[in-house]
Amino acid sequence: MEMSRHGAGVIALAMAASLFGPAVFSARAADLALAPIVEGGGYFSWAGLYAGGNLGGGAGRTSFVVSAPGLFTSTSDEIRGFVGGGQAGYNWQFGPWVTGIEGDIQFSHQQNGVQVSMLQISNGTDMLSTLRGRLGYAGIEDWLFYVTAGGGFMHGTANLNLGGVGGLQETDFAPVWAAGVGVEARVSGRWTGRLEYIYIDGGTVNNTFGIPGGTATVSKTTRDNLFRTGLNYYF
């Protein structure tokens, strides 16, 4: 049992080190065997308020359908890049089962561009936020395995250059739903490290622009995949 607990701490430390750098946590590795076990030698308690930060990457795709006088085309554009932000939540624990709610805000630098026919698009996502429920199993010492789902919003931008018409800029807040899985383990004391995957579905956003000779309609659909590592403190 003690070996398993020690192994959980080592892996959780690696999660945290990948977020904050080896210089911060190298001294903790040697102390893991001496780290106090929460609640007098029992398993770590996941109940209560927690907050922390995360870093990671996102890889998704945005699909466009554009119609204008003399033009109807569709294309898709990859978005990929850095994501990072913070999260906070509250858990309730019933034996090995943990349920809770978590909110996060992510700043993103996911961008790319594509050109098709007369249309050139520069596309990006710069911020998103979700509020999700969590359900997890914590019956293996200092580990928490969980699923999560909820909703939120995403802020995106797109610059469209239509040949012979000029540039059109689109900025929007789109509702999203989110679902994912994760694993969290105690690093030391009340600190935990986590690895998490979140799927984001932004649905379809429609915008209409006035152009010479009529209007241009742009329908944009965004799907995103977030891979994050994080560190939490349980109060």
Under the banding of pLDDT at 50, 70 and 90, the label for residue 68 is: confident
DSSP string, 63-84: EEEEEETTEEEEEEEEEEEEEE
What is the distance between the alpha carbons of residues 85 and 108, in angstroms, rounded to a whole number? 9
Give me the pLDDT at residue 42, please.
Answer: 60
| Secondary structure element (H or E) that encloses residue 16, with its range | helix 2-20
* Structure confidence at residue 3 (pLDDT): 39
- Tell me, what amino acid is at 169? Q
pLDDT reading at 20 higher than 70: no
User: pLDDT of 32-66, one tens digit each?
Assistant: 333 334 444 467 899 999 999 999 999 988 888 87
pLDDT score at 201: 94
Q: Where are the beta strands (DSSP E) in the chain?
A: 48-68, 71-94, 97-116, 119-137, 143-162, 166-188, 191-211, 214-234
Take residue 50 and report the two structure tokens written for it. Answer: 């927690």
The residues that bridge with 193 in the sheet, in sequence order, are 185, 231
What is the C-alpha to C-alpha distance for residues 70 and 212, in angstroms, rounded to an integer? Answer: 12
The residue range of the domain holding 162 is 2-234
pLDDT digits (tens, 9 = 90+) for 142-184: 999 999 999 999 988 877 777 656 667 777 888 999 999 999 9
Average pLDDT over residues 210-232: 86
Counting residues of the chain whose pLDDT is more than 90, the rounded percentage is 45
Which residue in 23, 112, 110, 43 sits closest to 75, CA to CA?
112
Q: Which residue has the higher pLDDT, 80 or 123?
A: 80
Q: How many domains does the chain have?
A: 1
Which comes out higher in pLDDT, residue 216 or 199?
199
Query: Rg (Cα) of the chain, in Å, rounded?
Result: 22
CATH value at residue 145:
2.40.160.20
- Range with lowest mean pLDDT among 50-59, 110-119, 181-190: 110-119
By C-alpha distance, which of 175, 176, 193, 179 is closest to 44? Answer: 193
Q: Is it the case that residue 225 has pLDDT exceeding 70? A: yes
Model pLDDT, residue 74: 80
Ordered alpha helix ranges (H), 97-229:
none
What is d(CA 228, CA 148) in angstroms, rounded to the nearest whole number? 14
CA atoms of 61 and 199, how far apart (whole Å): 12
pLDDT at 166: 60
